[in-house]
Amino acid sequence: MTSVKTPVLEVTDLKKHFPVRKGVLGRVADNVHAVDGVTFSINEGETLGLVGESGCGKSTVGRTVLRLLKPTAGSIRLVGNDITTLGNRALRAHRRRMQIIFQDPFSSLDPRMSAGEIVGELLDVHGVITGSERKQRVAELFEHVGLRSDQLRNYPHEFSGGQRQRLGIARALSLNPELIICDEPVSALDVSIQAQVINLLMDLQQEYSLSYLFIAHDLAVVEHISDQVAVMYLGRIVEVADKRELFASPQHPYTESLLAAVPAPDPARERKKRLLKGDVPSPISRPSGCHFHTRCPYATERCRVEDPPLKEVAEGHRIGHRVACHLR
Amino acid sequence: MSSSVIEVTTPQPTPLGSHPVVEVLRKLFRIPPAVFGVVVITLTVFAALSAPWIVPIDPEEMDFDNLLSGISAEHWLGSDQMGRDTLARLIKGAQVALMVSLGAVGLGVLIGVPLGLVSVYFRGFVDDAIMRLMDSLAVFPSLLIAVGLAAAIGGSLTTVIVAIGLANVPWMARVIRSQGLMIRELDYVAAAEAGGMSHPRIIIKHILPNSVAPVIVQSTLSMGYAVLTEAALGFIGVGIQPPTPTWGNMLQQAFPMLDQQPLLSVVPGLAIFVLVLAFNFVGDAVRDVLDPRLKGVIH
């Protein structure tokens, strides 16, 4: 356990900009800086929780890592292999090692395919197994995610939201991936079902030593499932730390206010209210200096001018707790 | 405090998934005009297919004792100025009408749908190039293409089918593209992509089946228009040439006789009217069934 292992996923300075075109000739007038220099890594069997407000670029990070979107800059290494610029054909071999679970259990399943076809679909693509072996594998996957094998021939509309999400998980598991990108997998579910799905994901992680990139905006869910948590704001990671550390002593003012907004199920506890004012600035024309200075209660002159790098927090904190703030 | 036990039961799903196609047909037959349309089309197809057995008289045989006769025992629907049996010619014309509508729409679908799918899947430059090409094709009405083709290579069944078919191509491409635009962005397409599925396979397995519904509607409606266009071409004399009877050239030949024997014009005219109406009824009903949101909007 002491040897230094290659992380399952290593993302370095990843950028994804979407051009904003104008005029008849489609001149690139500006860029949406959806992801703007994001660096993180995930070890085997670990979960990195990625949180932030809607529009901060967390889903774009997930899709770019999967290479559903072409990265603008930076690098993505999957178990040591650089997949940043691979072409379609070369990428195919690596696709088996990372899969995705989506937020919307309705649009993530083809309504014209039976549950069995959906789960077995990717097995055919990679020609891993065929015939009776394939049938057996699909039935096995159904069982793993808590569905009955007599539901194989049902169509997606005959399942509930939670069951549909289980189908999506079974599909993601079918190729034995090492990394699963969970793009808000429980946000669309009832709270009671959320717990079931989260527990299922954690059980599967144990069993197959899966790594998760868990994208969410629900801090309670992230606290439950993650090992590390990264907080994103306007396309950048502003703070990353071990889960306990981050929740116990948040360093970035943004993290602080996010945590303060979590409802505590304890009426006696006094809450420090530090509600943020205003909206997230536009990712097209971003504020100068620290992107957060427009909403930060502690902002100084320096924050308005100089962009703070993501750096290790000094003494009194665990190694790996990094924050992008001039004041720390 | 009494603790109540809440019985938890999992709802049993229906044992066998009811196939969507069966569901669509069931709904279709609850719409009266659709039933009318299906009956008319079925009868026409039946008559056209069994023509050699149910037509006792050769449609080109001339009966000089009965020129321009009305309804009679020898000629159930009368005869024309050359004594040819109108019923026999009507059924022979039905064959042509169906071949043209099926051929033209088939050609439109065969070329238009793949173009539309490629366009929507690859987006960007490919999309622009294909759709501008479609726009330039849509500029020409099918009648104009047909007249041009007929002038160049002569009027025949093939010319008519190709002319009407070409005119259908841009519409088919547009219709599947408009639906595909939405499907392309759905998560199951992303899942297939992330799973390493090849582009053609994603298009065929996911995008095509889920965007095909409006194409079915468009096809049914286009079949009606194809019948109408074929008749128009026949009437102006650039379509399929006599002696092959078509409903269009029957009308053209009946036109000078309008005051002597109106029945001669009424029969093919009515046939065109009823068959086009039938295709439109079915097309409308299919649209209502496939896309309930549009119900009552386009009527």
Look at residues B54, B248, B61 and name the one whose alpha carbon lies nearest to residue B160: B248
At residue B293, the pLDDT reads 59
Looking at per-residue pLDDT, the higher value among A5 and A218 belongs to A218
- Which strand ranges, in their side-by-side order, compose the sheet holding A73-78? A27-42, A9-22, A73-78, A81-82
* pLDDT (tens digit per residue) in A129-183: 777 888 888 998 998 898 988 888 888 888 888 899 999 999 999 988 999 999 9
Quick one: pLDDT at residue A225?
92
**DSSP category for residue B60:** T
CA pair distance A137, A123, nearest whole angstrom? 9
Rounded mean pLDDT, A320-324? 86
Query: Looking at residue B170, what is its pLDDT?
Result: 92
Position A273 confidence tier, pLDDT thresholds 50, 70, 90: low
From chain A, pick out residues whose CB is under 8 angstroms from the CB of B201. 125
User: Inter-chain contact B196–A171, Cβ cutoff 8 Å?
Assistant: no
Q: Which phi and psi (to 5°) does residue A266 adopt?
A: -145, 100
Contact predicate A312/A241, CB 8 Å: no
Measured distance CA(A323)–CA(B116) in Å, rounded = 49
Contact B194 A112 (CB under 8 A): no
Residue A31's pLDDT is 85
Closest C-alpha among B135, B163, B132, B136 to residue B234: B163
Alpha-carbon distance of B232 to B235, in angstroms, equals 5
Spatial CB neighbours of B13, under 8 Å, sequence gap ≥ 6: A151, A154, A158, A159
Report the SS3 class of residue B1: coil
The CATH number covering residue B101 comes to 1.10.3720.10
In a domain, B16, yes or no: no
* Model confidence at A1: pLDDT above 50: no
Q: How far apart are CA B267 and CA B250, in angstroms?
A: 9
Name every chain B residue with its beta carbon within 8 A of the beta carbon of A171: 191, 195
Closest residue of chain B to A110, computed from CA coordinates: B188
Q: Say how far apart CA A287 and CA A300 lie, in whole Å.
A: 14
Per residue in B204-261, pLDDT (tens digit) is 999 998 888 889 889 988 988 888 888 888 888 887 877 788 888 888 888 888 888 7
Query: Could you tell me how many residues make up chain A?
Result: 328
Cα–Cα dist B286/A271, whole Å? 59
Instruction: Look at residue B75 and give its three-state secondary structure.
Output: coil
Pick the residue from chain B with its C-alpha nearest to A90: B196
Q: What are the extents of the domains in chain A?
A: 1-21+30-97+178-189+211-328
Selecting from A93, A95, A114 the residue whose C-beta is nearest the C-beta of B194 gives A95
Angle (CA) A196 A197 A199, round 5°: 65
**A96 neighbourhood in chain B, CB within 8 Å:** 196
CB nearest A96 (choices: B20, B193, B196): B196
For chains A and B, what is the number of CB pairs under 8 angstroms? 73
User: Which chain B residues touch A if contact means CB-CB below 8 Å?
Assistant: 13-17, 20, 186-188, 190-199, 201, 205-206, 209-210
Residue A8, both tokens: 């399952």
Residue from A107, A155, A182, A192 whose CB has the most chain B CBs within 10 Å, to mutate: A107
Contact A121 B201 (CB under 8 A): no
Instruction: Calculate how close chain A gets to B194, using CA atoms only, in Å.
Output: 6
Sorted by sequence, the CB contacts under 8 Å of residue A49 that are 6+ apart come out as A214, A216, A222, A223, A225, A226, A228, A229, A230, A243
A63/B190 CB distance under 8 A: yes
What is the Cα gyration radius of chain B? Answer: 25
pLDDT digits (tens, 9 = 90+) for B168-215: 999 999 999 999 999 999 999 999 999 888 899 999 999 998 888 889
Residue among A206, A310, A112, A225 nearest B192 (CA) = A112
Judge whether B279 and B297 are in contact, CB under 8 Å: no
ipTM, interface predicted TM-score of the complex? 0.86
- Phi, psi torsion values for A285, nearest 5 degrees: -115, 95
A56 closest CA partner among A235, A183, A230, A222: A235
Mean pLDDT of chain A: 86
Q: Mean per-residue pLDDT for A109-129?
A: 87
Return the bridge partners of A20, or none: A30
Q: Is the pLDDT of residue B1 over 50?
A: no
Taking contacts as CB-CB distances below 8 angstroms, the residues of chain A near B190 are: 63, 68, 100, 102
- B288 vs A234: which has the higher pLDDT: A234
Residue B14 has pLDDT above 50, yes or no: no
Find the mean pLDDT for residues B13-32: 71
Interface mutation target, options B188, B193, B198, B205, chain A, most CBs of A under 10 Å: B188
Residue B66 maps to a domain:
no
User: How confident is the model over A22-52, as pLDDT tens digits?
Assistant: 777 777 878 888 898 899 999 999 999 999 8
Segment B128-147 mean pLDDT: 86
Of A95, A96, A154, the CB nearest to B17: A154
Q: Is B85 helix (H, G, I), strand (E, B) or coil?
A: strand
The secondary structure of chain A, three-state, reads: CCCCCCCCEEEEEEEEEEEEEECCCCEEEEEEEEEEEEEEEECCCCEEEEECCCCCCHHHHHHHHCCCCCCCEEEEEECCEECCCCCHHHHHHHHCCEEEECCCCCCCCCCCCCHHHHHHHHHHHCCCCCHHHHHHHHHHHHHHCCCCHHHCCCCHHHCCHHHHHHHHHHHHHCCCCCEEEEECCCCCCCHHHHHHHHHHHHHHHHHHCCEEEEEECCHHHHHHHCCEEEEEECCEEEEEEEHHHHHHCCCCHHHHHHHHCCCCCCCCCCCCCCCCCCCCCCCCCCCCCCCCCCCCCCCCHHHHHCCCCCEECCCCCCCCCEECCCCC
Dihedral (Cα; B267, B271, B277, B281), 10-degree rounding = 130
Question: What's domain A1-21+30-97+178-189+211-328's architecture?
Answer: 3-Layer(aba) Sandwich (3.40)
In this structure, is residue B4 part of a structural domain? Answer: no
Cβ neighbours of residue B254 closer than 8 Å, sequence gap 6 or more? B80, B261, B264, B265, B268
Cis peptide before B243 (omega within 30 of 0): yes
Contact check, Cβ <8 Å, A125/B196: yes
**What is the DSSP secondary structure assignment for residue B64, as one 8-state letter?**
T
Contacts of A168 in chain B (CB under 8 A): 191
Check the CA dihedral B195-B200-B203-B206 and report its sign. Answer: negative
Q: Least CB-CB distance to B188: which of A108, A155, A159?
A: A108
Phi then psi dihedrals of residue A228, to 5 deg: -115, 150
pTM above 0.90, yes or no: no
- On chain A, the residues whose CB falls within 8 A of the CB of B197 are 121-122, 125
Number of domains in chain B: 1
Give the least confident one: A181-185, A323-327, B15-19, B178-182. Answer: B15-19
Q: Is the pLDDT of residue A264 over 90?
A: no
Q: Comparing C-alpha atoms, which of B222, B228, B221 is closest to residue B247? A: B228
More confident residue, A74 or A23: A74
User: Which of A114 and A4 is assigned the larger pLDDT?
Assistant: A114
Instruction: State in Å, rounded, how far the first CA of chain A is from the last one.
Output: 33
How many angstroms from the chain centroid is the CA of residue A269?
31
Q: From residue B68, how far is each of A111, B55, B92, B141, B200 by CA, in Å? A: 59, 19, 19, 36, 59
DSSP code at position B298: -
Alpha carbons A211 and A226: distance in angstroms, whole number: 10
Are residues A167 and A197 in contact, defined by beta-carbon separation less than 8 angstroms?
Answer: no
Annotate B280-295 with three-state secondary structure. HHHHHHHHHHHCHHHC
**Pick from A102, A126, A151: CB nearest B196:** A126
Residue B69 domain-assigned?
Answer: no
Q: How far is B191 from chain A (nearest CA, A)?
A: 7
Of A88, A95, A150, the CB nearest to B195: A95
Expressed as residue numbers, the domain containing B98 is: 31-51+79-291
A255/B51 Cα distance (integer angstroms): 81
Residue B21, min C-alpha distance to chain A (Å)? 10
Nearest to B17 among A66, A158, A175 (CB): A158
Q: Which residues of A touch B205 (CB under 8 A)?
A: 110, 121
Cβ contacts of A159 on chain B, cutoff 8 Å = 13
pLDDT for position B299:
37
For range A78-88, the mean pLDDT:
87
